[in-house]
Structure 1
Amino acid sequence: MGLPALQRIISMQRERRRRQTRAHGNELACLLANSFALQQLGLSHCSKIIRLKIPSLLQRLITLEVSACKRLQTIEIEAQCLSKFWFTGEWLVQLSFGEALQLKTLDMHCHGAVCEARANLPSTFPNLETLSVFSYFEMVNTPMVGSKFPFLKHLTVKLAAAPAYDYCSLISFFDASPSLETFFLNGFQASMQHPSILADPSGRRRMPKHCHDKLRNVTIAGFSSAKSLVELTCHILESSESLECLTLDATEGYDYLRCSVNRSGKCFCMRRDAILEARHGLLAIKTYIEGIVPPKVKFTVVEPCSQCHVVEL
């Protein structure tokens, strides 16, 4: 098959046991210049590439995935029909999207991804509908800025947050997304580092009430007794009259880790301190959340397995 007829995926991956595929910027540029029918492009472990430019002549390119290209500094995209972009790296590189304003799905995994997504992405991707951000270590609170995601419907946030991180700062995404329908948060920690609401005699803060009138489905996995996480949940309940389903999961949040699904018949192990914190999270739910859930909302609480995750106090 000739290059102009290429319609699937160009994938350049490191081969550990055989020979290593190395792509230089000029070689890749030449390849792309002759791939007019390209629809999907995946680049992985391309350690020689410093600058990636996706030319406008790739009029059929829909999906771009870039992962673990450790020397990459800049991505320039001029392909106007691109609708899906996945990026995985230690840090987010400089992004330039020119006229590529059709992007509807963005998935980014890197340090500080949550702050970066809220602060700098809205003006770059005005048509974004689905946003997933995974931050390996989030140290800075999500900023309150005026920019909007006018069409964002689905938001997924997975983060390992520093002890000082305020989960309520995620309200910034709700205020910026008038069309938001579903929100998934996974803040699972191997050990509890945030101040617990159970140890704070002042109780919970009450956030300024806003109207999130499209939000229907919310799931929070890795639910703990972290004070700001409980406060965020209460804010969602008090500000989202359209809410239909709320799920609070005190485990890692992955069904495939449970004994009912796993072939071994046993749940994947949870550390002792994680199980104990899950119990604290369940107590926080009963104390601060259960009583304010409207009758119309389907409320689900997921607990650690009573057979596989048992610890003595």
Structure 2
Amino acid sequence: MSKRKTSSKDKQDGPLVKKRGSRLQLSDLPLDILHSVLSRLPIRQAVRTSILSNHWKRLWCSRTNLEFSFRSLVHKMGSGIPRSSISEYVFIQRVDAILKQHCGVGVEKLKVEFFPLHGEHAEHIDRWVQFAISSKTKQLIFYFECQRPTKEPYGFPFQLFDASSGSHLEYMKLGSVSLKHTANIKVLLNLKKLELEDVNITDEELKHMLFNCNALEFIGVSRCKMLTCVETPHPLKHLKHLHASHCPLLQRITLHFGLVTLEYEGPLMTLAPPSTLRNLSIKSSDFSSSLAYMLTELPSTLPRLETLTLKSEELKRANLLNTPLNFLHLRHLRLELNFVSLGARSDVLDLACLLEAAPVMENLEVHMLMGHEVGRYRKCHGELRVLPSHPHAHLMLVNITGFVGQKAQVELALHILRNSAVLKAMKIDPKPTVAGIGADLLMNGLCFLDGYKVAKKYLRRADYHGVVDVIKVRRRQVENVMPFKLIDPMWLAILAESE
């Protein structure tokens, strides 16, 4: 067999990577690919590549993302090393050692997340801030969590920034720090995203901080215990998204024209959002009925709402007499409802009115947590109710979770199925995705099996277009098993937080 002749073009361009015999070496790859590979490794593992050879010795030093945490610097899978066994100064020494070896330029992201750090470590943390400044870091994240109430939180040193160095920051997240002297902050000119969590900051200090942040697109405040009002000093023309949650003293949110998305979690307050608002998420324990709140309070103030999320514990059945139904632009509705306290007085068929309330809705999610007072539907519970027909010409996707086969749940699902002219998919999941105190009232895992059997019997029978997808539950999976052991771990984390 004749060998292929090497063209002059092949000789000129050369191979993409060098060959050593018939084997390709990882170190022969272009530098930009190697840097990309190293950036995907935890920082501890990236540094360890320096022992491979002289070629690898300094490669990690140009890493663009530096993330320092217990997991990235200390934790080893299966080692069983407790977080409490690592002192603050061991952590500080490891961070310092890495920053000293880094080339100090082109850092896109610097993240330090280690809960025990506080004000007494200011000298070291200030040094990391100076590194971020000199390396022109774009994303700066300092997330601590003061575990010792007697210790002062770290005071973030805005005085280290000037107009030049501050202009590089585009994203900043600060957790469990103190912000003082914010009246002198005039350097965050290109900051697009700001998140403050458990930060000691007053209303006036926040306004001063935001005064020159004219490029801001997102503001997030969470667990800020001193805030009573979230208000920008003047309209920020680029600000589109505001998130506020678990600020116990918060009484007012002043929203300026241009805001598109609002996420709020906490005690219910009067909202006067601008007409530009398109997306709203409210999670509150103050609703007596989220359905009544949604249909009586929101349509008049949010006529152009397109997506809506409501999460609450239902304490009262909605009174829908003379209720205005005019969500004329709503396309995506997500309800997270805990009916445990309402018990047998609940009637989820009330939710059927949503087809009339939102005539252009395309995506409907109903996530329920039900008590055990009303069991799965049986013939002895009476005939299934059928509401007057109300064809819906836009609804395409429906997702119902926590479907344990109760009569009103069956009636609601059938009403949606029969009246949705262009429905493409209806997902029915017996397991709940809603967290809430009272989940343990579910007797045992067999309630999920009940939901699966009822959905299969009644919904599949009425499904003439093959759009119903019932998540399968087997007896051997749920028999003699408490429900909390069958639910996704993410759900359990949310439940623990709510309690």
Q: Bin the TM-score by the shorter chain.
A: 0.7 to 0.9
Q: Is the 8 A contact 1:246 1:297 kept in 2?
A: no
Cα displacement string for residues 129-176 of structure 1 (whole angstroms, at most 9, x for unaligned residues): 111111134433274622411111111111101212221111232211
Taking every aligned residue pair, what percent have the same amino acid on both sides? 24
Could you say which residue in structure 2 is the equivalent of 1:285?
A: 455
Cα displacement string for residues 62-82 of structure 1 (whole angstroms, at most 9, x for unaligned residues): 11000001111222212x221
Name the SS of the counterpart of 1:230 in structure 2. Answer: helix
Matches of 2:298 and 2:442, distance apart in 1: 39
Which residue, out of 286, 291, 304, partners 1:127?
A: 304
Name the SS of the counterpart of 2:258 in structure 1. Answer: coil
Q: Is the 8 A contact 2:325 2:358 kept in 1?
A: no
Cα displacement string for residues 240-286 of structure 1 (whole angstroms, at most 9, x for unaligned residues): 122121111112359xxxxxxxxxxxxxxx99834211222233224
Residue 8 of structure 1: how far off its partner (Å): 2.6
Does 2:355 align with 1:178? no
Q: Is the 8 A contact 1:13 1:43 kept in 2?
A: yes
Could you say which residue in structure 1 is the equivalent of 2:426?
A: 246
Does 2:317 align with 1:140? yes
Residue 222 of structure 1: how far off its partner (Å): 1.0
Name the SS of the counterpart of 1:197 in structure 2. Answer: coil
Name the SS of the counterpart of 2:445 in structure 1. Answer: helix
Classify 1:229/1:55 alpha carbon distance in 2 versus 1 (closer, same or farther; 3 Å).
farther
- Which residue identity is paired with 2:278? K
Does 2:206 align with 1:9? no
Q: How does 1:1-313 map to 2 (within 5 A)?
A: 1=166, 2-3=186-187, 5-14=189-198, 21-54=199-232, 56-78=234-256, 80-89=257-266, 91-97=267-273, 100-111=274-285, 112=287, 113-141=290-318, 143=320, 145-161=323-339, 162-163=342-343, 164-189=345-370, 191-194=371-374, 196-198=376-378, 200-253=380-433, 273-294=443-464, 296-304=465-473, 308-311=477-480
Larger RCO: Structure 1 or Structure 2 (Cα < 8 Å, ≥ 6 residues apart)? 1
Q: Is the 8 A contact 1:192 1:274 kept in 2?
A: no
- Which residue identity is paired with 1:60? H
Q: Is the 8 A contact 2:332 2:363 kept in 1?
A: yes
Name the SS of the counterpart of 1:247 in structure 2. Answer: strand
Q: With structure 2 as the length reference, what TM-score do the two structures score?
A: 0.53
Which structure is higher in helix share? 2
Instruction: Note the aligned Cα RMSD (angstroms).
Output: 2.6
Q: Is the 8 A contact 2:368 2:433 kept in 1?
A: no
Q: Is the 8 A contact 1:219 1:246 kept in 2?
A: yes
Matches of 2:467 and 2:240, distance apart in 1: 37
Name the SS of the counterpart of 1:7 in structure 2. Answer: coil
Q: Is the 8 A contact 2:196 2:220 kept in 1?
A: yes
Q: Is the 8 A contact 1:197 1:203 kept in 2?
A: no
Q: How many residues align?
A: 286
Structure (1 or 2) with the larger CA radius of gyration: 2
Residue 233 of structure 1: how far off its partner (Å): 0.7
- Unaligned runs of at least 5 residues, structure 1: 15-20, 255-269
Matches of 2:360 and 2:459, distance apart in 1: 25
Classify 1:69/1:200 alpha carbon distance in 2 versus 1 (closer, same or farther; 3 Å).
farther
Cα displacement string for residues 181-228 of structure 1 (whole angstroms, at most 9, x for unaligned residues): 111111134x42346432743121111211111111111111012221
Deviates more, 1:299-308 or 1:102-111: 299-308
Residue 33 of structure 1: how far off its partner (Å): 3.0
Q: With structure 1 as the length reference, what TM-score do the two structures score?
A: 0.82
